[in-house]
Amino acid sequence: MGTRSKPNASADGRFAYEGLDRAIHEKARLGILTSLVAHPEGLLFNDLKELCSLTDGNLNRHLAVLEEAKLVTTHRPAKRGRPQTMVVMTPAGRRRFQQYLNVLEQVLADAAASQPQAAVTRGRVAPGLSPA
């Protein structure tokens, strides 16, 4: 499966990458998943909220989208008599997140390859781009 929406490099849709999954690509959800991928055991709701700088309502809404997409699961184990929501990335979520990162690497490679030669001087790449 290719990463571009069109198999050829025609001007139409040349950089429309299929793998930029909308469920993942949104900034807050990307932050949530990035936090969770670094914590395979999961994170408590309040810890995730703090890591991602989100309000309760915003985090709840984004978690609902991620749960619907089967990227994360939530459960409420009782901790010291008080239930707390634990958020865990699913195995399928980990696979899809890795696929998403692979597409981002392709985006960077394509962007770097499309830069004029003058942008690369003395082994340095134009700001914001990394060498392919």
Structural domains of the chain ordered from first start: 25-109 (1.10.10.10)
Residue 74 has a pLDDT of: 96
Terminal CA-to-CA distance of the chain, rounded, Å?
A: 21
Report pTM: 0.72
Q: What number of helices (H) and strands (E) belong to the chain?
A: 5, 5
Q: What is the pLDDT of residues 72-112, one digit of tens each?
A: 999 988 767 778 899 999 999 999 999 999 999 999 998 88
